[in-house]
């Protein structure tokens, strides 16, 4: 968290202590934020939406004439009027309050793109600009690389990218050229000598005449080396302009704090991408093609990586093995355990797949002997496409959902314990007989947990989503799975960065 309030307290306490030793005026001269008194008393720029930052310019009073002195005598610079000191303190506190509010808004962002947009909006308010863009290009080369604009469409960003990189202010920062450490101001692009013709053309087309760019370098980096830089941010002015000294100081403070927050989100984004890649590599690269059935799968990996999995493998006699399951826990250990369990189930399915109870019994014994501290749920089905039949056994798993034109119902399965919970697991199998055009939907518990509702309500939501699927979608198992995801998990709950893993395996009989 960025604790600006602590900064305020430290500076105010220091200011009060200094006043006791050197006087109010000298204390302000030493601890004022930036610049000259006139700059401090300038009207403050507007804050981001929802924050009223307008502070009226203080009315300066004429210094009183001391007794026994001539009115023409110059005022004593060591004893400014109390009103001026109050104005300076009010401006200083207002600036710190602004920074506190803006950084609080920033730290409430939890996604990288959202944080970059907030950085652009807040920075534009601090420097008095209307548009801008941020280029995320970590110096370590590990990515992700992205460009996000404020008030600029994707086509506008494309036009800017056609300008030679060395001719752009943020390009010089990203390339580590001299003079970009503290920001690059271009107050009047069209009056600047030696401006690249392509840059002049793009600026005229997009309607900006000046820019101010600063690097994105976390304070914790401890250096300005390009390897520590996350990228650069630039704000664009419609008319020739540049931020004054006070604005540069405030936006500099804000950007340094923002870079710290972005660095944390960047590491989180990289971890999520790594876990998703690892999980995807342990799952089937593609589903098999078997006559008589159509297959589709959907997989969403949580931010920490989970143990949900699915499988579909051809078996002898034109049969098909279908499986979904979930390993307890999260993180790399759960992902590795999921991979071992899935590989073992494939071996058992090839040897005795026509008996799903035997497959899960062997899997339970293996889990209990090799990983006694871990449990798992699983559902395995021996599918005979020609007969439109699935022989199914489940271990603590949610029942499949049968979806057809005339019926939508959960398959009744016996209550059974998860694998690894009992000394000896056993449960009877059930048979599913499907009609032509019907789909059997296998899924993991993450689909129900992400709704945030009770189990009964989550099951009801799933049933309603499947029953309400349009007839056209029922002909495509992939479209049906997408419809169920969007209906059960609306408002982005089906995104890949949800708290729970989600797996759907749809099997449609022709």
pLDDT in tens, 32-64: 444 433 433 344 444 333 334 433 333 333 334
d(CA 187, CA 79): 37
User: In this predicted model, what pLDDT tens digit does every residue of 325-338 receive, in sequence order?
Assistant: 999 887 888 888 89
Query: Taking 80 as the threshold, does the pLDDT of residue 227 lie above it?
Result: no
Residue 109: which pLDDT band, with cuts at 50, 70 and 90? very high
Is residue 317 left, alpha or beta, with left meaning phi > 0 and alpha meaning psi from -120 to 50? left
| pLDDT score for 224 | 56
Verify cis geometry, omega within 30 degrees of 0, for the bond prior to 87. no
Distances (CA, A) of 156 to 99, 159, 185, 206, 208: 30, 5, 21, 7, 12
User: In this predicted model, what pLDDT tens digit does every residue of 287-340 receive, in sequence order?
Assistant: 999 999 999 999 988 767 778 999 999 999 999 999 999 998 878 888 888 999
d(CA 144, CA 164): 22
| pLDDT score for 128 | 94
| pLDDT score for 69 | 40
Query: Taking 90 as the threshold, does the pLDDT of residue 81 lie above it?
Result: no
Query: Taking 50 as the threshold, does the pLDDT of residue 174 lie above it?
Result: yes
The domain segmentation of the chain, as residue ranges, is 1-54+81-108, 111-272, 283-509
| pLDDT score for 27 | 35
| pLDDT score for 362 | 92
Query: Taking 60 as the threshold, does the pLDDT of residue 415 lie above it?
Result: yes
pTM of the model: 0.63
| pLDDT score for 39 | 38
User: In this predicted model, what pLDDT tens digit does every residue of 390-409 receive, in sequence order?
Assistant: 999 999 999 999 999 999 99
Query: Computed from CA positions of residues 449, 375, 326, 336, in that sequence, does the dihedral angle turn out positive or negative?
Result: positive
| pLDDT score for 80 | 59
Q: 180-205 burial, b for 16+ CB within 10 Å, e for fewer?
A: beebbbbeebeeeeeeeeebeebbee
Over residues 278-291, mean pLDDT: 86
Residue 389: which pLDDT band, with cuts at 50, 70 and 90? very high
Q: Which overall architecture, per CATH, does domain 111-272 show?
A: 2-Layer Sandwich (3.30)
Contacts of 50 (CB under 8 A, 6+ apart): none
Residue 226: which pLDDT band, with cuts at 50, 70 and 90? low
CATH code, residues 283-509: 3.60.40.10
Query: Taking 60 as the threshold, does the pLDDT of residue 462 lie above it?
Result: yes
């Amino acid at each position: 968290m960025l604790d600006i309030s602590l900064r305020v307290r430290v500076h105010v306490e220091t200011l009060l202590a200094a006043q006791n030793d050197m006087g109010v005026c000298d204390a302000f001269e030493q601890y004022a934020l930036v610049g000259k008194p006139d700059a401090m008393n300038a009207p403050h720029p507007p804050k981001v939406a929802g924050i009223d930052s307008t502070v009226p310019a203080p009315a300066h009073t004429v210094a009183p004439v001391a007794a026994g002195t001539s009115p023409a005598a110059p005022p004593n610079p060591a004893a400014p009027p109390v009103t001026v000191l109050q104005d300076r303190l009010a401006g200083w506190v207002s600036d710190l309050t602004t920074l506190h509010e803006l950084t609080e808004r920033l730290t409430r962002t939890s996604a990288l793109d959202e944080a970059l947009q907030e950085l652009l909006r807040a920075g534009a308010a601090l420097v008095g600009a209307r548009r801008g863009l941020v280029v995320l290009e970590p110096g370590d080369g590990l990515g992700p690389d992205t460009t996000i604009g404020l008030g600029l469409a994707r086509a506008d960003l494309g036009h800017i990218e056609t300008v030679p990189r060395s001719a752009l202010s943020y390009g010089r920062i990203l390339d580590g050229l001299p003079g970009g450490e503290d920001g690059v101001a271009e107050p009047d692009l069209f009056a600047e000598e030696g401006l690249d013709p392509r840059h002049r053309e793009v600026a005229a087309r997009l309607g900006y005449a000046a820019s101010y760019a600063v690097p994105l370098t976390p304070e914790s980096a401890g250096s300005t080396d390009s390897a520590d830089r996350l990228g650069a941010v630039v704000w664009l002015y419609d008319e020739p302009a540049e931020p004054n000294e006070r604005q540069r100081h405030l936006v500099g403070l804000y950007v340094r704090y923002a870079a710290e927050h972005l660095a944390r989100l960047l590491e989180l984004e990289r971890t999520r991408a790594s876990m998703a890649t690892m999980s995807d590599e342990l799952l089937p690269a593609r589903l098999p093609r078997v006559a008589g059935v159509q297959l589709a799968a959907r997989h969403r990996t949580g931010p920490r990586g989970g143990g949900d999995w699915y499988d579909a493998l051809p078996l002898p006699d034109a049969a098909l093995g279908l499986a979904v399951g979930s390993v307890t826990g999260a993180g790399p250990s759960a992902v590795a355990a999921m991979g071992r369990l899935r590989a073992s189930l494939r071996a058992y399915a090839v040897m005795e797949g026509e008996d799903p109870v035997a497959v899960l019994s062997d899997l339970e014994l293996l889990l209990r002997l090799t990983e006694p501290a871990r449990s798992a749920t699983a559902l395995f089905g021996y599918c005979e496409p020609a007969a439109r039949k699935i022989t199914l056994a489940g271990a603590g798993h949610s029942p499949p959902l049968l979806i057809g034109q005339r019926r939508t119902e959960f398959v009744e399965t016996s209550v059974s314990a998860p694998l690894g919970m009992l000394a000896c697991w056993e449960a009877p199998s059930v048979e599913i007989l499907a009609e032509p055009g019907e789909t059997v939907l296998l899924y993991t518990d993450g689909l129900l947990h992400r709704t945030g509702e009770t189990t009964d309500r989550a099951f009801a939501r799933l049933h309603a989503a499947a029953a309400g699927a349009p007839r056209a979608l029922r002909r495509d198992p992939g479209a049906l799975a997408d419809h169920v995801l969007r209906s059960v998990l609306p408002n982005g709950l089906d995104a890949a960065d949800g708290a729970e893993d989600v797996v759907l395996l749809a099997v449609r009989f022709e």
